[in-house]
Amino acid sequence: MKKLLIAILSIIVIPYLVVSSLATEEKIADLRFYYVDNLKVRVKRVSKDKIEEVPLEEYVMGVLAGEMPIEFDIEALKSQAVAARSYVLKEIETNQEKEYDVVDTVLNQVYLDQNELKEKFSNNYIENINKLKEAVNSTRGQYLSYDNKIAQTLFFSTSTGKTENSEEIFSTALPYLVSVDSKWDEEVSPVFNDSYTFSLNEFLNILGLKNNNKVTTKVLETTSTGRIKRIKINEREFSGSEVYSALNLRSTFFSIEQNNNTINVYTKGFGHGVGMSQYGALAMAKRGYKYDEILKYYYQGTEIKKI
């Protein structure tokens, strides 16, 4: 009877005790995985105007489908899964006192639920969902850490040949979000170079400039990699992001040329340029790099940990 009582007490009490120094790493990992399975993300569904609680790994799978092409190499998808998981864990940590952790748009991360995935993948749903599950399950619970804190894992589509220092784009310097070479983007990204055509009047009207037969530009300030921070167009000064937003460009790495009554704008790269380049990750995967190597390259000095 005494042995039975001890056994019962052990079953009840042990799960609530602090893991002793004798516990193995494997046992600790098991306890943490139980936590992952029960962690929920509060997602603001913008189009539905409602907040949904989504299991963490299900959320990561939905972001993976929303943020990276399913055709990408599995190692690139794995790197995106870890980046997406790290990003949302940081948001959960930051937004504890708010109604929700993230929105389901590019303001945070694009998230697609099961119904949206079925609609997106159509006849290829089973094949594609299994590929997503492989990427998510093989990195389950993994996130990036720097100095024992969750890293802010920003990512974007295509670099200009280099990524950006975070302080040059977002004003805040983070030691793991520094400029690195990503010249291989040009080999794989269909939007590495792009161009836009506007009529002279259309261009002037969009930017709120006075009627003029000529457009003159003077670049006043750039980032260390050449993205425009400040530019003067005719009589008015703009930030690079103002022109980027007004003209709906792919990046702030642009040049403007006039050909009579036509204005041509040429861009390089797609996105803000800070953190992991998704097409850069694809190119590295095609070269044989594994997801952890891709992540440690784009997020300098970080390490992969498990919740």
Q: pLDDT of 113-127, one tens digit each?
A: 999 999 999 999 999
CB within 8 Å of 189: residues ≥ 6 apart: 157, 158, 270, 279
**pLDDT at 104 exceeding the cut of 80:** yes
Residue 130 or residue 2, greater confidence: 130
Residue 37: per-residue pLDDT: 55
**pLDDT at 51 exceeding the cut of 80:** yes
Residue 306: per-residue pLDDT: 94
**pLDDT at 29 exceeding the cut of 80:** no
The residue-averaged pLDDT of 257-281 equals 98
Residue 203: per-residue pLDDT: 98
Written as one string, the DSSP assignment of 17-86 is: SPPPTT--HHHHHHHHHHHHHH-EEEEEETTTTEEEEEEHHHHHHHHHHHHS-TTS-HHHHHHHHHHHHH
Of all residues in the chain, what percent carry a pLDDT higher than 70? 88
Tens digits of residue pLDDT in 89-98: 999 999 989 9
Strand order in the sheet with 217-222: 217-222, 228-233, 236-239
Residue 7: per-residue pLDDT: 39
Nearest alpha-carbon partner for 141 in 47, 30, 218, 222: 30
- This prediction has a pTM of 0.85
The residue-averaged pLDDT of 298-307 equals 96
**160 within 8 A of 251, measured Cβ to Cβ:** yes
The residue-averaged pLDDT of 221-236 equals 97
The helix (H) or strand (E) run that includes residue 218 is strand 217-222
**179 within 8 A of 165, measured Cβ to Cβ:** yes
CB within 8 Å of 272: residues ≥ 6 apart: 154, 156, 164, 169, 170, 251
Please, which pLDDT band fits residue 173 given cuts at 50, 70 and 90?
A: very high
Report which residue type is found at 179: S
Of all residues in the chain, what percent carry a pLDDT higher than 90? 86
Residue 171: per-residue pLDDT: 86
Nearest alpha-carbon partner for 82 in 25, 1, 147, 137: 137
**pLDDT at 24 exceeding the cut of 60:** no
**pLDDT at 232 exceeding the cut of 90:** yes
Residue 36: per-residue pLDDT: 52
Q: What is the mean pLDDT of the chain?
A: 89
Query: What CA–CA distances, in Å, run from 163 to 30, 172, 178, 199, 276?
Result: 37, 15, 7, 32, 8
**190 within 8 A of 270, measured Cβ to Cβ:** no
Please, which pLDDT band fits residue 307 given cuts at 50, 70 and 90?
A: confident
**pLDDT at 10 exceeding the cut of 70:** no
**164 within 8 A of 225, measured Cβ to Cβ:** yes
Residue 169: per-residue pLDDT: 96
Residue 9: per-residue pLDDT: 34
